[in-house]
Amino acid sequence: MNLQIVSAAARDVDADWLIVGVPEGGEWSNELVSLDNALQGQLSRLREAGDLTGKLAELLSVPDTPTLKATRMLLVGLGLPSELSVARWDKVAMTAARQVSSKKDIRVAVCVPEQLGVLSRERAVEVLATALVVGSQGQDLYKAERSRFPFAAAQIVLPPGSDIGTVSAATERGRILGDAINLARELVNRPPHEIYPETFAARALQEAIPCGLMCHVFDEHRLEAEGFGSLLAVAKGSDRPARMVVLEHRGGGPHTPTLALVGKGVTFDSGGLSIKPTDGMLTMKCDMAGAATVLGAMTAIARLKLPVNVIGYCGLVENMLGAKAYKLGDILTARNGVTIEVHNTDAEGRLVINDVLSYAVDHGADRLIDLATLTGACVVALGEDVSGAFTNNQAWCDQLFAAAKSQGEDLWQLPMFDSYNELLKSDVADCKNIGGRWGGAITAAKFLEKFVAGKPWVHLDIAGPAFASASKGHREGGATGCLVRTLVEVAEKGQL
């Protein structure tokens, strides 16, 4: 996408769609007043008629604007100026971008409002650039007639006389984040016969190299030699061999601490012998969203040349029920020696990332974050739009929450009391892989905690937000690319 930043009066901008934000209540800014003048009072008339209230993400299109250089105009509500936030501006920008991207070869121009409340102009530009990239990309990759098309050109319009130079870095950052989110979305949206451990790994290599990331792929023999007994057990029921992708960004010096990002990459989760019912299985191509998020974030971290050390790990398996499938009652020996009695083969995600976490700990990770579509229980607890967070180190978790807040992404922390460990006890092994009916998101996190050797760690359960069952005005259904931005932010700013 050709993305430009310009400083001009809205009336003089050449585009197929000119997008202008309108605040709810209060005075209009100079730019809106002068646009209204150029439109011979049309905006005031619409406001008086009650068609232009400025309520958050309200849309009103003006299909013919002969007195403007742009062909048509889309007005989008900003909500109350005092309530404008990153999350709200993101919603506004995404709604607008989605609204005007249903035709091919559209040239769009979006005005950055003069009054941004708590938002800096840089943040507003960055979020807008991301929305233009993400909002114009659909999930209908396999339809003869698509319903969404990347823009032919996009302009971010600042008020006349603005200094363009101060926001050019923000524009670039926004675009890079948008590309990273779209990469994560695309990988999740592609079907499981296309994306399986080998093809995910091949794609990761292909994306990583031009970004300047070091990328290594462990095949099943290497994983065996490294003792990934738990991860390999899950892979046994599939004809598709397991992989682990390691993506390394060394932007910091030798004394800078290393952050490890670990993603669950179950490219299809049938449930294994504890097979899922049809309805629950339908969307299980999304079960590699954690791995896709890690890959997306790593490409952005590298392209932004952040002066930090980050290693991304994707644990990749397909959970199937072939003749060699792992069974209920099997005892697995994980990489760190912990023995696990299998009580449910559908609790497979924790058996994949536990080995990856322990590998990361043994290979220089000073702090860790894992992302996994791990439990339906987390969706029951927090709903579809909020990720669960679990930690063994509150200070590190606080850093992550600060990053998420600055990016307008929602996390909620759940407890990690010792008493939950009781639920994981086994009669024959060190632990079992499920904790029973209650508190399922937490017992899954307590299970993972056994594999991080006390290093500062946060587990993010993204089972709800990673994949949306339906489209909404501000976001496409299917994969969402949630938390890519938060990971990039915490990699840059997270201190411990």
Residue among 109 and 374 whose Cβ is closer to Mn ion = 374
375 belongs to the binding site for ligand BES (CB under 6 A): yes
Of positions 126, 248, 269, 318, contacts Mn ion by CB under 5 A: 269
CA dihedral 424, 430, 432, 433 (to 10 degrees): 100
Strand (E) positions, 66-152? 72-79, 107-111
Q: Which stretch binds Mn ion (CB under 5 A): 107-115, 347-355, 429-437, 468-476?
A: 347-355
Q: Which stretch binds ligand BES (CB under 6 A): 169-177, 305-313, 375-383, 402-410?
A: 375-383
Please say if 222 is a catalytic residue. Answer: no
Least separation in angstroms between residue 386's CB and Mn ion is 20
Beta pairing, strands 309-319 & 243-250: antiparallel
238 belongs to the binding site for ligand BES (CB under 6 A): no
Residue among 22 and 378 whose Cβ is closer to Zn ion = 378
Of positions 263, 272, 296, 440, contacts ligand BES by CB under 6 A: 440
CA pair distance 136, 91, nearest whole angstrom: 14
376 belongs to the binding site for ligand BES (CB under 6 A): yes
Number of helices (H), then strands (E), belonging to the chain: the values are: 15, 19
Please say if 350 is a catalytic residue. Answer: yes
Least separation in angstroms between residue 269's CB and ligand BES is 5
The closest of 113, 114, 155 to 132, measured between CA atoms, is 155
Per the structure block, which two tokens stand in for 11? 């009336």
DSSP state string for 180-231: HHHHHHHHHHS-TTT-SHHHHHHHHHHHHHHHT-EEEEE-HHHHHHTT-HHH
Residue among 257 and 280 whose Cβ is closer to Zn ion = 280
Q: Which of residues 33-72 bind Mn ion (CB under 5 A)?
A: none
Least separation in angstroms between residue 242's CB and Mn ion is 16
377 belongs to the binding site for ligand BES (CB under 6 A): yes
Of positions 248, 287, 341, 355, contacts ligand BES by CB under 6 A: 287
Least separation in angstroms between residue 171's CB and ligand BES is 34
CA pair distance 229, 355, nearest whole angstrom: 8
Residue among 268 and 396 whose Cβ is closer to ligand BES = 268
Of positions 463, 479, 482, 484, contacts ligand BES by CB under 6 A: 463
* CB of 290 closer than 8 Å to CB of 373: yes
346 belongs to the binding site for Mn ion (CB under 5 A): yes
CA pair distance 93, 249, nearest whole angstrom: 31
Least separation in angstroms between residue 346's CB and Mn ion is 4
CA pair distance 126, 123, nearest whole angstrom: 5
Least separation in angstroms between residue 439's CB and Zn ion is 18
3-state secondary structure of 179: helix
Q: How many CA atoms lie within 13 A of 301 on its CB side?
A: 33
* CB of 288 closer than 8 Å to CB of 191: no
CA pair distance 218, 248, nearest whole angstrom: 14
The closest of 154, 186, 95 to 480, measured between CA atoms, is 186
Of positions 81, 312, 349, 465, contacts Zn ion by CB under 5 A: 349
The closest of 288, 280, 320, 319 to 204, measured between CA atoms, is 288
Q: Single out the catalytic residue among 47, 69, 222, 276.
A: 276
Residue among 88 and 350 whose Cβ is closer to Zn ion = 350
Q: Which stretch binds Zn ion (CB under 5 A): 143-151, 159-167, 261-269, 423-431?
A: 261-269
Interacting residues with Zn ion (CB under 5 A)? 266, 269, 287, 349
- The residues of the shown chain that bind ligand BES, judged by CB under 6 A, are 269, 287, 344, 346-349, 373-377, 379, 434, 440, 463
**Interface positions with Mn ion (CB under 5 A):** 269, 346, 348
- Please give the positions annotated as active site: 276, 350
